[in-house]
Structures are given as structure tokens and as C-alpha cells.
Amino acid sequence: MSNFPLPIEMLEKSIGYEFKNKNLIKMALTHSSYAYEQKSHKINCECNERLEFLGDSVLSLVVSEYLFEKFSQKAEGELTKTRASLVCTRSLSSFANKIQLGSYLYLGKGEEATGRTNVKILENAFEALLAAIYIDSSSKDVVSKFLIPIVEAEIKAAGTDAIYDYKTTLQQFIQALGNDRIQYACVNEEGPDHDKTFEVEVKINSNVVGRGKGKTKREAEQSAAKEALALFDVK
């Protein structure tokens, strides 16, 4: 018998917020595969897709407000790139993993094998959780209290790369030169599954112009793009 999902009370303790409406948090944790199975047994059950829709907007607002205040000297374009890097699927699934969100998900039998580590499922559940907190508390500030420390930890861990999108800058530079094609390829992986280091090459046409390493492929790609920009002396 599966030990999952873990009790909701454990998640509430982890995120530092106790729900008044327990149905909201359960809905946020319910994947469509589980809801479908329940309905096939004539049990009314709503999945987290509607909450995910709202959570996407709540996430964008809270992160945008934080970046606007934190980086007061940065231009709109830079803030937009930074926000995009923080709300992308890999970042959100990383945020979800920090609170072990996958362990609390209600999944259908077909998703049990891989669903708790599926980055898209984790991203959607994290956004749904933000929406559930927002609705239950009627306060954006309560969402911020939970979310911003996670965002700040991500920026600190990634350093400059979290607030500067080297891949986008390289893409724009190459496009301005003509129709050259950029490709990223993972050329090496080291370490156990829970602590891997990835090495990525970036090529323009068939020429390697940069290499980078990182704890995720996204980090490694950013590092490779950074090296390529240095090669072309692009600031």
C-alpha cells in the first residue's frame, strides 16, 4: 500500500500556513487523473486546473512586485527576463521540490509511478497552491510571506545567472547577425541522481562557442551562453 499522499497537516506546517478551508488545499493537490478516477466511481471531485489558472496570475504579480522593489535600478526588459527565469517550469518545479510538494499530491493510478517527480505536474500544483493560499487568506501578503523567501533563495543560489538571462541575450545577439542557428547539447552528466552536475555545450551552426556546468541543465545552458557572450565580447 502506498504511503502517499502524506497528510495535509504536514504540508501546512512546512509552508507555515494553516487553511481555514481544507477543501481548498486538497483541491490544489488534486491532479486531473485522480479527479477523473473518483468521478468514474460517482464521487464528486474537482482537480487543481482552475486554481492553477488563478495561481499563475498570483505568482506573476507577487514576483513582479518583488523584483520591482528589489532591483530598482534595472530596466523593464531586464526585469521581464528575470521574472521569466523565476516563473519557468523548471524553477517552479524546483520550488515545489523544496517543500516536497510531490509527496502530497492526489494522483490517479496511471500517474503514481512518475507523477510525483513530473516537472509539469509539480509546476501546476505549485501554482494551484499559491491560488489556494490567496483565496483562503484573502491576502496577497500571505502568499508573499510564503513565496518570496523561496524566490530569494533561488536568486542567491544561482547568483548573477538568476537575474540575467544569458541565453536570451545570446539569442538576440546571434539573430542580429543573421540566420545562424543556436543549439544546446548536454555532453556529460556526473554524480548520483539526487546530486547531478550537467555539462552543456552551445553551438552556433556547428561550432562550439561555449561550455558550462550546473546542477540543472538550465543552469548549465546559462553558463554556456555566458561563456559564449564573453567570447564575442558582448556585455
The C-alpha atoms of residue 30 and residue 24 are separated, in whole angstroms, by 10
Task: Tell me how many degrees the CA angle 23-27-28 measures, rounded to the nearest 5.
Answer: 120
Asked if residue 144 has pLDDT above 90, the reply is yes
The pLDDT assigned to 159 comes to 59
Longest dimension (CA), the chain: 64
Q: How confident is the model at residue 14 (pLDDT cuts 50, 70, 90)?
A: very high
Q: Which of 37, 52, 111, 127 is catalytic?
A: 127
Rounded mean pLDDT of 17-36?
97
Q: Which residue has the higher pLDDT, 31 or 162?
A: 31
List 56, 161, 201, 219, catalytic entry: 56
Percent of the chain with pLDDT over 70: 95
Q: Which residues pair with 197 in a beta bridge?
A: 190
Distance, CA of 150 to CA of 42 (rounded, Å): 39
- pLDDT-based confidence at 1, cuts 50/70/90? very low
Whether residue 127 lies in the annotated active site: yes
Q: What's this model's pTM, rounded to 2 decimal places?
A: 0.71
Distance set, CA 201 to CA 50, 157, 167, 208, 225 (Å)? 39, 22, 12, 7, 9
- Domains parsed from the chain with CATH numbers: 8-159 (1.10.1520.10), 166-231 (3.30.160.20)
Q: Is 56 a catalytic residue?
A: yes
